[in-house]
Amino acid sequence: MELKVLNIQGKETGKKVSLDDSIFGIEPNEHVVYLEVKQYLAAQRQGTHKAKERAEVSKSTRKIKKQKGTGGARAGSLKSPVFVGGGTIFGPRPRDYSFKLNKATKKLAKRSVLSQKMKDNEIKVLENFSFEAPKTKDFIEVLKALGLDTKKSLFVLGEPNNNVYMSSRNLKGTKVVNNTELNVYDLINATEVVFLEGSLDRVQENLRK
User: In Å, what is the CA distance from 5 to each residue of 15, 29, 196?
Assistant: 5, 28, 9
Sheet containing 123-126, strands listed edge to edge, beginning at the edge strand earlier in sequence? 12-18, 2-6, 123-126, 192-196, 153-157, 174-178
Q: How many CA atoms lie within 13 A of 155 on its CB side?
A: 28
Percent of the chain with pLDDT over 90: 80
**Is residue 32 pLDDT above 70, yes or no?**
yes
Task: Kindly report which listed range (25-34, 101-110, 195-204) carries the lowest average pLDDT score.
Answer: 195-204
Give the whole-angstrom CA distance, residue 70 versus residue 195. 76
* pLDDT average, residue stretch 73-90: 92
Average pLDDT, the chain: 93
Collapsed DSSP state (helix, strand, coil) of residue 2: strand
Strands 12-18 and 2-6, bridge-based pairing? antiparallel
Describe the chain by its helix, strand, coil percentages, rounded to 5. Answer: 35, 15, 50
**154-175 confidence digits (pLDDT tens):** 999 989 899 999 999 999 999 9
The proportion of the chain whose per-residue pLDDT surpasses 70, expressed as a percent, equals 100
pLDDT band for position 147 (50/70/90)? very high
Domains, the chain, ranges and CATH? 2-45+102-208 (3.40.1370.10), 52-96 (no CATH)
- Residue 178, pLDDT > 80, answer yes
Task: Enumerate the β-bridge partners of residue 155.
Answer: 176, 194
pTM of the predicted model as reported, rounded to 2 decimal places: 0.82
The pLDDT confidence band at residue 1, using thresholds 50, 70 and 90, is confident
